[in-house]
Amino acid sequence: MHPLNIEPRLQSILQQEYPRFSDAEYTRRHAALAAVMDKHRCDHLLVVTDHRAGNAPQWVTGWPGTAEAYVIFRPGERMVMHMEWHNHVPLARRLARDVEVRWGEQRGIVLTVDELKRRGAKRIGVIGPLVVGKYRQLEAVFDVVALDGEYTQLRMRKSAEELDWLRIGAALSDAGMRALVAGTRPGLDERELAALVEAAYIGLGGTTMIHYIGVTAMDAPQRHVPPQYASTRKVRAGDIVTCELSAYWWDYPGQILRSFTVEADATPRYRELYAVAEATFDAVKAVLRHGTKMAEILEATALIERSGYTICDDLVHGFGGGYFQPIIGSKSRMAGKLPEMTLEENMTVVVQPNPVTTEADESIRSGVQVGELLRITRDGCETLHRLPRGLFRAGQII
């Protein structure tokens, strides 16, 4: 049996030397980009990774874009990519599909501008986080249109192949959570707990997006939400551990949130918090389907406030290729203006109720975590994770 217990179809993706999407999938993506160009009257696109930020070159070419990558895209023509660093070029030439890969010589944006001028470009659409100085170099020569919003729209709806990669990311994330619950014991600190998580999936091809792990005493809580950076706080009997984990399969992560106690049963307060979290998860999940309106989702979170609690984190958010709308909190802690949209089939969202107590002093609040990544279907939703829900106990095999 495969260590992730996944279908043969997904195992075959893991077993490739370097995983690739099909030609048909790239044809779909490139046709979508061509439609965006036509809508905005652009003759070329510049697709960017800059200063190690931005995933659009990977979506367009298959190359993750380590330090810098400037991809020139025009329908019907072979793409050109200037990239850093020189020792990254050999692998980029293997992974980037239908791309002429060129070393950027530490002046990649200059070479990219020169290539666009050679092609007679006039109006350039830009996707990705190009820093201000480089953006101005483009604007000095071309009419430039920022298209990040259009790219986000393209990433919100997943193809069948993308959903399979997300299923692998979910399985890797599940493996990290299983290892964390099973391996947590008194004496380990939060850094060592993070090492348990990563060890579970690195050897299977996964990489880390996040592992937020919070450890606190149930009888004297000092954390109500998992911190983004691990501390030296050691695990003790009577603690509760709350965590949010995302392991990547290339650009496709899962996201799973769970809570568990250490050598003790949950206290009454934490039992109640957890029960509210589970009931809220079920209430939100029950309204998710193609066509769901945002007000329906917000209303489904109402048990949080009726139980006397609030939240700290967002309660629902789009996920998979980015952190997308719909981003929804609860009535006591809104996540900005309610988005004007409806859910669509094959969007993927994380539902993550995180009820917390309401003491004026935030440093003594209590909170728990429950949640996971879901796919929207025509008449409901599908969880992409296989890890059971529950208020677990450290050392438990799940």
Q: Model confidence over 215-233: pLDDT tens digits? A: 999 999 999 999 999 999 9
Does the residue 328 lie in any domain?
Answer: yes
Q: What is the predicted pLDDT for the residue at 2?
A: 73
| Predicted confidence (pLDDT) at residue 257 exceeds the cutoff of 70 | yes
Alpha carbon distance 396, 393 (integer Å): 6
Does the residue 81 lie in any domain?
Answer: yes
Q: What is the predicted pLDDT for the residue at 361?
A: 96
> Do 247 and 218 lie in a common domain?
yes
> Do 124 and 216 lie in a common domain?
no
> Do 232 and 354 lie in a common domain?
yes
Helices 132-139 and 108-118 meet at what angle, rounded to 10?
Answer: 20
pLDDT, tens only, 90-125 = 999 999 999 999 999 999 999 999 999 999 999 999
Structure tokens at 315: 């309660």
Q: What is the predicted pLDDT for the residue at 283?
A: 98
> Do 290 and 174 lie in a common domain?
yes
Q: How many residues does the chain have?
A: 398
pTM metric for this prediction: 0.96
| Predicted confidence (pLDDT) at residue 302 exceeds the cutoff of 90 | yes
> Do 229 and 326 lie in a common domain?
yes
| Predicted confidence (pLDDT) at residue 208 exceeds the cutoff of 90 | yes
Alpha carbon distance 4, 175 (integer Å): 7
- In contact, 334 and 258? CB cutoff 8 Å: no
Q: What is the predicted pLDDT for the residue at 293?
A: 98
Q: Residue type for 229, please?
A: Y
Q: What is the predicted pLDDT for the residue at 12?
A: 94
Alpha carbon distance 393, 398 (integer Å): 10
Taking residues 176-196, report their average pLDDT.
98
Alpha carbon distance 376, 17 (integer Å): 31
pLDDT, tens only, 134-165 = 999 999 999 999 999 999 999 999 999 999 99
Residue reference for tokens 């290729």: 321
> Do 255 and 355 lie in a common domain?
yes
Alpha carbon distance 226, 212 (integer Å): 5
239-249/207-217 β-pairing: antiparallel
With a pLDDT cut of 70, the percent of the chain lying above it is 100
Please give the mean pLDDT across all residues of the chain.
97
- In contact, 59 and 39? CB cutoff 8 Å: no
Handedness of CA 50, 52, 55, 59 (dihedral sign): positive
Q: What is the predicted pLDDT for the residue at 1?
A: 57
Domain of 141: which CATH number? Answer: 3.40.350.10
pLDDT, tens only, 64-93 = 989 999 999 999 999 999 999 999 999 999
The SS3 of residue 219 is: coil
pLDDT band per the 50, 70, 90 thresholds, residue 5: confident
> Do 109 and 170 lie in a common domain?
no
> Do 213 and 231 lie in a common domain?
yes
Does the residue 2 lie in any domain?
Answer: no
Q: Which domain range does residue 87 map to?
A: 10-156
Closest CA to 370 of 216, 235, 260, 211: 260
Q: What is the predicted pLDDT for the residue at 3?
A: 81
Structure tokens at 164: 């399979």
Does the residue 203 lie in any domain?
Answer: yes
Boundary-marking domain end, from 129, 156, 183: 156
Phi (first) and psi of residue 248, to 5 degrees: -85, 140
> Do 359 and 245 lie in a common domain?
yes
> Do 166 and 108 lie in a common domain?
no
Boundary-marking domain end, from 130, 156, 182: 156
Boundary-marking domain end, from 122, 141, 156: 156
pLDDT band per the 50, 70, 90 thresholds, residue 52: confident
